[in-house]
């Protein structure tokens, strides 16, 4: 199929014409390109039948160019205009905030022809001096480059899940679909996602392909087949779509959910039992299908429990499933409260009362308002005086709102020397004391471990927040000696946090499991700074499930009374 190749050529023409400041034509080429790459027919076939002009957006002019490409393998017009534009200037247009005019100006004045040139020029402060640019647009360019680069990598689950849900919703509405599932690492709720593997059960695969490749938010169609297509959405996420029969849906779900290792092992088990397991079903020696419509019936035939998708990583779940001993991981609806919410006292956007009311709506029994302490200037940290004022306000709202208990908390900085940012006189007035590293991240492992251990020795501490400091796209995790941290946490009844704000996801699934194996309890915190982020609790529970956490391992499943007991404090 030449469709994609031809579409690519037209996209390039559009980019180049745009840089040259030509109106209208780029849009026409782009429209033709999009229609060509998303159409089901083979463009060479259409050419043979002399029907190129039936393609929407293809007139006589563009049809001639298609003809030339099919017959000669190249296009003279493209070769000609390529010479008029230096280097990879059209790549610059992929950076947000750079239009064709700016790209041309950057080239003419600074000799910028590649993304690398652009980054160098911005970093050395040359761009701000150009006419029509300034310090802000220089920063915007750097930000744009960062986003463009990131878009090519994996994205955090917290960003990918709403996009996947939306897609699932749209596909479910179609009258030709009977089942829809986003499988792959998203279904396993991995903390970062590469692309979306979407399965659809339908008797009309062509119609589903037509629909998806023509969706408004599709930027490019990478491939289009009769039951399989790949597209890139405008946000840069790749979607791999497969349409299967209803009767194969379970087998396809099992196959495409993975992980790879889990899949390989289940297929080995199938072979040992005299079956063959594939994306089309479970077959016996006579090639007769014995299961395939649901995952449950496949696992049952294999003599094992059906593991929750979050467990399918070949980390021992298969062996336990064979013995009927899979752990009962925490259900999504078991959460009774959130331990980590910022109000507008520090850097949150909502008032305490607004947070409380939203938490009532979510059905919570309690919420801990944990604003920054005084050293976190960037987060508008609270002085002792403001903290006490906040506590008073919380008491008043608690009297007013009967349906929820607001806990007086703080996210207290662990200073570089391991001391806490408030003294004990203050700490003992709080219901929940959360401690966290927010500064001096670059420390040798031993020094960082000792810093945190010293802080954990304070008797008022309840939760260690985002224990490794990892921050997506900005900061790697700092190294700490986990066995020592676990030991201290278990000894002092300090919970480690599962911080589920999208760019953090700290602790990792592996470390959650290790914490549990070391008798350490965990507290999920959304680290909410804007009301809608309260919903990311689901991501935290997902991470807990990936770490094999059961209800008893997660503090958020306890009632207020049980919390008081656990922390040995009178909260009620
Ligand atoms: Zn923090
Ligand atoms: Zn925080």
Ligand 2 centroid from CA 526, angstroms:
8
Looking at the structure, do residues 399 and 511 belong to the same domain, yes or no? yes
Ligand 1 centroid from CA 382, angstroms:
14
Looking at the structure, do residues 47 and 195 belong to the same domain, yes or no? no
Q: Which domain holds residue 307?
A: 265-322
Instruction: Please report whether residue 253 resides in a domain.
Output: no
Instruction: Please report whether residue 217 resides in a domain.
Output: yes
Ligand 1 centroid from CA 396, angstroms:
26
Instruction: Give the pLDDT of residue 279.
Output: 96
Ligand 1 centroid from CA 505, angstroms:
12
Ligand 1 centroid from CA 389, angstroms:
21
Looking at the structure, do residues 349 and 300 belong to the same domain, yes or no? no
Which of 193, 213, 244 terminates a domain? The answer is 244
Ligand 2 centroid from CA 413, angstroms:
10
Instruction: Give the pLDDT of residue 152.
Output: 60
User: How far is Cα 322 from Cα 310, in angstroms, rounded to an integer?
Assistant: 17
User: How far is Cα 183 from Cα 405, in angstroms, rounded to an integer?
Assistant: 38
Ligand 1 centroid from CA 462, angstroms:
15
Torsion over CA: 397, 401, 402, 407 (sign): negative
User: How far is Cα 343 from Cα 382, in angstroms, rounded to an integer?
Assistant: 11
Which of 214, 244, 274 terminates a domain? The answer is 244
**pLDDT tens series, the chain, 572 aa:** 477 778 888 988 988 888 888 888 988 998 898 888 777 778 988 999 999 998 888 999 999 999 999 998 889 999 898 888 776 777 787 776 787 778 888 988 998 988 889 999 999 999 999 988 988 889 888 887 876 776 566 788 988 998 999 999 999 999 999 999 999 999 999 999 989 999 999 999 999 999 999 998 898 898 899 999 999 888 778 999 999 999 999 999 999 999 999 999 999 999 999 999 999 999 999 999 999 999 999 999 999 999 999 999 999 999 999 999 999 999 999 999 999 999 999 988 899 999 999 999 999 999 999 999 999 877 789 999 999 999 999 999 999 999 999 999 999 999 999 999 999 999 999 999 999 999 999 899 999 999 999 999 999 999 999 999 998 766 778 999 999 999 999 999 999 999 999 889 999 999 999 999 999 999 999 999 989 899 999 999 999 999 999 999 999 999 999 998 988 876 65
Ligand 1 centroid from CA 411, angstroms:
7
Beta strands in 62-204 (DSSP E): 155-156, 177-182, 192-193, 196-202
Instruction: Please report whether residue 258 resides in a domain.
Output: no
Ligand 2 centroid from CA 371, angstroms:
7
Query: End-to-end alpha-carbon separation of the chain, Å?
Result: 70
Ligand 2 centroid from CA 52, angstroms:
58
The closest ligand to the CA of 348 turns out to be: 2
Ligand 1 centroid from CA 494, angstroms:
17
Instruction: Please report whether residue 255 resides in a domain.
Output: no
Ligand 2 centroid from CA 392, angstroms:
21
Task: Tell the residue number behind the tokens 């779940």, with chain if given.
Answer: 317
Instruction: Give the pLDDT of residue 98.
Output: 84
Ligand 2 centroid from CA 408, angstroms:
14
Q: What is the DSSP string of 462-496?
A: -EE-STT--BTTTBPPPP--HHHHHHHHHHHTPEE
Residue 266's H or E segment, with its range, is helix 260-272
Task: Tell the residue number behind the tokens 């066995």, with chain if given.
Answer: 483
Tally of domains in the chain: 4
The closest ligand to the CA of 469 turns out to be: 1
Ligand 2 centroid from CA 340, angstroms:
6
Ligand 1 centroid from CA 119, angstroms:
31
Instruction: Give the pLDDT of residue 1.
Output: 47
Task: Tell the residue number behind the tokens 């190249």, with chain if given.
Answer: 74
The closest ligand to the CA of 342 turns out to be: 2
Ligand 2 centroid from CA 440, angstroms:
17
Looking at the structure, do residues 145 and 159 belong to the same domain, yes or no? no
Looking at the structure, do residues 70 and 180 belong to the same domain, yes or no? no
Task: State residue 405 phi and psi, 5-degree precision.
Answer: -110, 120
Instruction: Give the pLDDT of residue 150.
Output: 64
Ligand 2 centroid from CA 412, angstroms:
9
Ligand 1 centroid from CA 410, angstroms:
10
Task: Tell the residue number behind the tokens 């957006």, with chain if given.
Answer: 57
Looking at the structure, do residues 298 and 166 belong to the same domain, yes or no? no
Estimate the crossing angle of helix 352-361 against helix 384-400, to 10 degrees.
40
Looking at the structure, do residues 129 and 116 belong to the same domain, yes or no? yes
Task: State residue 161 phi and psi, 5-degree precision.
Answer: -60, -45
Looking at the structure, do residues 146 and 163 belong to the same domain, yes or no? no
Contacts of 282 (CB under 8 A, 6+ apart): 251, 270, 275, 276, 289, 290, 291, 292, 298, 301, 302
Instruction: Give the pLDDT of residue 151.
Output: 54
Instruction: Please report whether residue 19 resides in a domain.
Output: yes
Q: What's 231's domain CATH number?
A: 3.30.460.10
The closest ligand to the CA of 441 turns out to be: 1
Looking at the structure, do residues 481 and 539 belong to the same domain, yes or no? yes
- What is the SS3 assignment for 172? helix
Ligand 2 centroid from CA 379, angstroms:
9
Ligand 1 centroid from CA 529, angstroms:
11
The closest ligand to the CA of 370 turns out to be: 2
């Amino acid at each position: 199929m030449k469709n994609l190749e031809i579409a690519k050529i037209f996209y390039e023409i559009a980019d180049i014409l745009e840089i040259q400041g030509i109106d209208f034509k780029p849009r026409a080429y782009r429209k033709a390109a999009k229609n060509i790459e998303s159409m089901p027919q083979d463009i060479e076939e259409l050419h043979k039948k002399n029907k190129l002009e039936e393609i929407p957006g293809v007139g006589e002019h563009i049809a001639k160019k298609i003809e030339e490409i099919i017959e000669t393998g190249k296009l003279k017009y493209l070769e000609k205009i390529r010479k008029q534009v230096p280097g990879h200037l059209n790549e610059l247009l992929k950076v947000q905030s750079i239009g064709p005019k700016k790209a041309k100006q950057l080239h003419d004045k600074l000799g910028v022809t590649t993304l690398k040139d652009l980054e160098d020029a911005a970093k050395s402060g040359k761009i701000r001096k150009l006419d029509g640019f300034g310090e802000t647009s220089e920063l915007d360019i750097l930000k744009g480059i960062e986003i463009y680069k990131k878009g090519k990598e994996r994205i955090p689950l917290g960003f990918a899940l709403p996009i996947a849900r939306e897609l699932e919703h749209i596909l479910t509405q179609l009258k030709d679909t009977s089942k829809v599932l986003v499988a792959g690492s998203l279904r396993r709720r991995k903390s970062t996602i590469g692309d979306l593997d979407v399965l659809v059960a339908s008797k009309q695969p062509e119609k589903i392909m037509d629909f998806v490749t023509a969706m408004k938010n599709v930027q490019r169609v990478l491939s289009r087949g009769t039951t399989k297509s790949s597209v890139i959405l405008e946000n840069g996420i790749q979607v791999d779509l497969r349409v299967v029969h209803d009767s194969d849906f379970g087998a396809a779900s099992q196959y495409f959910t993975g992980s790879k290792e889990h899949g390989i092992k289940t297929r080995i088990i199938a072979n040992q039992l005299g079956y063959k397991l594939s994306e089309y079903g479970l077959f016996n020696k006579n090639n007769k299908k014995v299961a395939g419509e649901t995952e449950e019936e496949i696992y049952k035939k294999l003599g094992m429990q059906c593991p929750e998708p979050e467990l399918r990583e070949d980390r021992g779940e298969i062996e336990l499933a064979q013995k009927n001993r899979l752990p009962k991981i925490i259900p999504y609806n078991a959460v009774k409260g959130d331990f980590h919410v910022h109000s507008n006292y520090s850097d949150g956007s909502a008032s305490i009362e607004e947070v409380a009311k939203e938490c009532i709506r979510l059905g919570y029994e309690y919420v801990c308002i944990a604003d920054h302490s005084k050293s976190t200037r960037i987060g508008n940290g609270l002085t002792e005086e403001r903290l006490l004022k906040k506590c008073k306000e919380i008491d008043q709202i608690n009297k007013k709102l009967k349906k929820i208990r607001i806990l007086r908390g703080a996210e207290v900085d662990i200073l570089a020397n391991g001391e806490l940012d408030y003294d004990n006189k203050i700490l003992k007035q709080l219901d929940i004391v959360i401690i966290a590293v927010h500064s001096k991240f670059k420390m040798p492992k031993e020094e960082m471990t000792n810093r945190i251990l010293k802080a954990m020795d304070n008797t008022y501490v309840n939760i260690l927040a985002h224990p490794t400091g990892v921050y997506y796209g900005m900061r790697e995790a700092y190294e700490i000696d986990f066995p020592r941290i676990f030991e201290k946490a278990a000894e002092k009844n300090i919970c480690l946090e599962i911080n589920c704000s999208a760019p953090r996801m700290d602790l990792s699934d592996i470390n959650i499991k290790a914490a549990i194996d070391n008798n350490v309890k965990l507290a999920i915190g959304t680290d909410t700074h804007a009301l809608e982020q309260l919903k990311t609790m689901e991501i935290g529970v997902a991470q807990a499930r990936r770490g094999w956490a059961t209800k008893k391992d997660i503090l958020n499943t306890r009632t207020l009374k049980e919390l008081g007991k656990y922390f040995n404090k009178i909260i009620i």
